[in-house]
Amino acid sequence: MREEKAASQFKEMWHMLIQNKAAVVGMIIIIVLILIAIFGKYIQPYDPNVGELSQSLQAPSKAHILGTDEQGRDIFSRIIDGTKISLRVGIMAVAFALSIGTVLGAVAGYYGKKIDMIIMRFMDIILAFPSMLLAIAFMAALGRGIDKAIIAISIVTIPEYARIVRGSILSIKESEFVQAARVIGNSDASIIFKHILPNVISPIVVRATLGISSAILDTAALGFLGLGVQPPAAEWGSMLGSGRTYFFNAPHIVVFPGIAITITVIAFNLFGDGLRDALDPKLRN
């Protein structure tokens, strides 16, 4: 009976999601980006990290459809290769932040009192600093590189998930089904992870989807400042950073990576907004 109800709710959610044209467009773009990230190496016309200085700063042409950069590397190949890096950082940073934030928020909301105060005050301290400034500080301490960027971006976004989970748990932890679980002797861990969290999954999923776009933007910002993915790896933000010097002579070096970032961020935002509406039971009804 419970499985049939869950299947029915999923069908309703999916039906509402595909009725949202903007969300469908975002979902299609995301699927295409994932396919590019997986199979991109088979469609790259050139090695993204190897160029010829004699071919530098060439405008878009038949040989190089998006032109070449200051080192003669094919921009189209580098943008394709950068898709893999940007999605990897975005998804892994959100996964790490979501895992830690969910546990901290669940513990704070369920137990309350001193535990809640200690955890949430620590979260407030992190939120008191601008996220990008704090990420830069962590990068300065940890060093440069893609793995360091994932850690830095995830740490600064943990409080967002912790606050969402805590607020959701506070609203339902005194519900009848939670009280019944306590009466029959379920442990606190079982109540939190088996009975409470499944009922607050909707806002978490929506925030995680939107959080990927934010993480991709943060990755691009760190790369632009020279703190993220290091050369010769192709990352959209670092492509912007290295190409800004040649903007007036060869604007395509900056324009095309910027378009890639914009399209990706908009796609995740459109899909996240549609998912939020589809998961809202009031709108479904």
Domain range list for the chain: 14-48+67-284
pLDDT for res 6: 54
Indicate the fold that domain 14-48+67-284 takes in CATH: MetI-like fold (1.10.3720)
Give the predicted TM-score (pTM) of the model: 0.84
Residue 74 pairs in a beta bridge with 68
Contact of 10 with 257, CB cutoff 8 Å: no
Q: Going residue by residue through the chain, which has 285 residues, state the pLDDT in tens, using 9 for 90 and above.
A: 455 555 666 677 778 878 888 989 999 999 999 999 999 888 888 888 887 888 888 889 888 899 898 888 999 999 999 899 889 888 999 999 999 999 999 888 888 888 889 999 999 998 888 888 888 888 888 887 788 888 888 999 999 899 988 888 887 877 777 778 777 877 777 777 777 777 777 788 888 888 898 888 888 888 888 787 777 778 888 888 888 888 888 888 999 999 999 999 999 999 988 888 777 655 555
- Of 170, 161, 194, 201, the closest CA to residue 180 belongs to 194
DSSP label at 58? P
pLDDT for res 264: 93
The kind and range of the H/E element at 213 are helix 201-224
pLDDT for res 8: 65
pLDDT for res 267: 93
Contact of 72 with 189, CB cutoff 8 Å: no
State which amino acid sits at residue 1: M
**What are the distances in angstroms from CA 24 to CA 8, 14, 29, 259, 261?**
21, 11, 9, 20, 19
Residue 68 pairs in a beta bridge with 74
